[in-house]
Every structure is written in C-alpha cells, then in structure tokens.
Amino acid sequence: MSVNTSPDVQSVSNPTAAATLAASASGISPERLQQAYDIVQRMREEIRRAVVGQHQVLDQVLACCLAGGHILLEGVPGLGKTLLVKALAKTFSGASSRIQFTPDLMPADVMGHAIYDVKNQSFSVRKGPVFTHLLLADEINRAPAKTQSALLEVMQERQVTIENESHSLEAPFMVLATQNPLENEGTYPLPEAQLDRFLIKVCIAYPSEQEELQMLKMVTHKRIGDGLEVKQVNTIIKPETIVALQQLVAQIGVDDAVASYATRIVRATRECAGIAVGAGPRGSIALIRIARAFALLNRRDFVTPNDIKLACLPVLRHRVALSPESELDGLSSDTILSNLIEQIPAPRA
C-alpha cells in the first residue's frame, strides 16, 4: 500500500485528528499506540528513500524529534547530515533552514533584526532563519561564543527576543547542530551551558561497504550532480501531528524502579574515577525523555531498563568531562560510560 493513500496516515494529517491523537491524558489505548507507531514507521520508511544506511542514527534522530529535543550531530563531512534534516522535514511538511556558522556570523544573522521604514516612520522585524521547524546549524563550533549563546534562548524557551519584543516559534521546533571532529583550527568549543541544551549527541560513522555501494549507485544513476535528493520522499503528515506525537510520548509510563535506575546511572557519572565532571540533573530528565521515545519506536506504552541503556550514550556522552588521566590513556567517553553502565544493576521486574 502506498504511504500517501494509507487511511491511518490521512486520518492524522489534519489538526482535528492530531488533537484527538493526543487528547487523553489518563492513558494510551492500544489503538492510539498502534496508530502512532504506524505513523512513525512510515516516517522512517520515507526518510530511508533518501538516506542510505545509518539506521541507528535515524532512530536516534526520530526519538529526539518525538521527545521534543535538540540534537548535536558529530561526523566528518559527506555523511548525509543535511540530507537527513531535509528528508525529515519533508515527511511532515515542515519548513527547514540551514545556517553555515562562520567566525564572522553575528547573532542578528541567526535571529533577525529590526529595520526602520523611512516611508512609514516605523520599525519592522525581519525574521532570521531560526523561524522554522527544523534548523540545521552547520559547524556550530566555528562561530564565536556570542553567536553560539544567541541560540540558548531559542533552544530553551522556543522564542526569540528582537528589540525587547518576544516572538514565539511555531511548533514543532528542533535544532540539529553539526560539528566536525577532525578540524580544531578556527573552532570555538561549545560552552557547557549550551551543550546541556542538546538532548542527545549522535556520532555518525562511515557507512558499511554495502551501504556505500548502494549510495554510489543511487547518486550516479543518470544524474549529473554528486548528492542524493529528497524528491522521492513523500509528505505523509502535518506539523500538528508531530506535536500530537510528542504529547503522546510524554504520556508513556515510567515505573519508579526504571526512573530510579536512570537516576543511579547519572549519579554514578559524578563518582566515576575516569570522569572529572559528571552529568547534572538534566541528564536524568533527558534519559527518561529519550527512553519514552524509544518505547514508542518499539510499539510499547511503557519504558523498560533496556530503553534506558539505549539512551545512555547519546544522552550522556556530551554531558561528562573526562579526567586528564583518561585523556592521556586515549579513552573515550563512550568507553567509560559503557563500562559504567554495565556495573549498575538494572531492575528485574
């Protein structure tokens, strides 16, 4: 069955049905859970029409979108970060914009600014590229701290202040920032306050040999350019449905034992010998938010300890600072966190 003609998808492609999907706050019925899972599954299938491989990355990006958070993507150039953002935006008819961060980028270039109209003798606001659904902040660490900090209000409050006037952003809003792990010259490390605003950090690796061959065939088959396109990605839902899905994810049940498990993991990072600075309380909150989204991706209305484990690396890897000894030994935050997670017993029931 074609995605565009699916009755389930069409039934949630309008604001009224979207509101119905998130209406009940007392619990999630099996029908609503199945309907939400079908929508997410179709979104995944549509994105895969353009993005080759990177299945784990795709699931983490979808989970972050469902959790209503922002994501930091780290990977070398040419791994499809921009393509992924465009494909995700097209699945729900969302607007997307891209900002190439450079050392001379000013906050007004991101947020917008006020312009004086001589004819009308009044100021008008020219909105910047941040007024969108999906914002791709390309190589965010190349901009100075002043410009980076301009995103803090946007990421936290979902609003922009221009000339002492606040402008709310249309939901859903998500920042996908990228940084190159290989080049350090001319970069400005992200401040801890801004790193903590990203719900997860995803490390994108090279594709497998089979995936790279598939990508090669797709790009070179009767085409002149050297990139993949999103023309084959179908729009299946509206932005209102994404908001409804986020509201549904927030209702997914979390047992006290599972919540305690997440808290113990985060607190253990503050006492680990290989970690100089552990994760703060926002880390525990982020674990639950992403774990709920993972539960929906697996067609469940409750969080399991395994969901917490799957969320640990993307949620915590950018919230801890390694000790000098760990850095000298060449250890990564993923290695230390993986060992730490194995030492903490998960609830059995």
| HSE-CB for 45 with a 13 A CA cutoff | 13
The pLDDT-based confidence of 72 (bands split at 50, 70, 90) is very high
Return d(Cα 75, Cα 179) in angstroms, integer: 7
What type of residue is 120? N
Residue 223 has a pLDDT of: 61
Quick check: 143 and 111 in contact, CB under 8 A? no
Residue 226 banded pLDDT, cuts 50, 70, 90: low
pLDDT band at 3 (very low <50, low <70, confident <90, very high): very low
Cα distance between residue 65 and residue 9, in whole Å: 18
Better-scored residue on pLDDT, 204 or 123 = 204
CATH architecture of the domain formed by 252-349:
Orthogonal Bundle (1.10)
- Give the Cα separation of 13 and 302 in Å (integer): 26
Give the DSSP H or E segment for 168.
Answer: strand 165-168
Q: Average pLDDT, whole number, for the chain? A: 83
Q: What percent of the chain has pLDDT over 90?
A: 37
* Total residues found in the chain within this entry: 349
Tokens representing residue 54 in the block = 């990177």
Q: Say which range, 21-30, 111-120, 145-154, 211-220, has the weakest mean pLDDT.
A: 21-30
pLDDT tens by residue, 14-23: 444 444 444 4
Cβ of 75: how many Cβ atoms within 10 Å?
Answer: 20
What is the Cβ-side half-sphere exposure of residue 131, based on CA atoms within 13 angstroms?
15
Residue 229 has pLDDT above 80, yes or no: no
Cβ atoms within 10 Å of 157's Cβ, excluding its own: 12
User: 82-86, 130-134, 190-194, 337-341: which has the minimum mean pLDDT?
Assistant: 190-194
The mean pLDDT of 133-140, rounded to a whole number, is: 88
Which amino acid, one-letter code, is at 76? V
Q: How confident is the model at residue 101 (pLDDT cuts 50, 70, 90)?
A: confident
For residue 172, cis peptide bond before it (omega within 30 degrees of 0)? yes
Q: What CA dihedral angle connects 100, 105, 106 and 112, to 10 degrees? A: -30
Please check the confidence at residue 222 and state whether its pLDDT lies above 80: no
**pLDDT grade, residue 2 (50/70/90)?**
very low
Check: CB of residue 21 under 8 Å from CB of residue 251: no
Q: Pick the residue with more confidence: 129 or 27? A: 129
Position 11 scores a pLDDT of 40
Residue 227's pLDDT is 57
Half-sphere exposure of 151 (CA within 13 A, CB side): 32
**pLDDT classification of 302: cutoffs 50, 70, 90:** very high
Q: Which of 90, 92, 80 is nearest to 51 (CA)?
A: 80
* Residues 109-134, mean pLDDT to the nearest whole number: 80
Domain boundaries, the chain: 51-222, 252-349
Rounded CA-CA distance 327/90 in Å is 41
74-85 average pLDDT score:
79
Residue 181 pLDDT > 80:
no
Structure tokens at 290: 């992403």
Predicted pLDDT of residue 184: 60
Residues 40-53 have a mean pLDDT of 88
Give the C-alpha separation, 295 to 37, whole Å: 10
Q: What is the pLDDT of residue 114?
A: 76
Mean pLDDT for the stretch of residues 257-286: 93
Phi, psi (deg, nearest 5) at residue 159: -150, 160
pLDDT of amino acid 13: 45
Query: Considering the domain 51-222 in this protein, what is its CATH number?
Result: 3.40.50.300
pLDDT score recorded for residue 260: 95
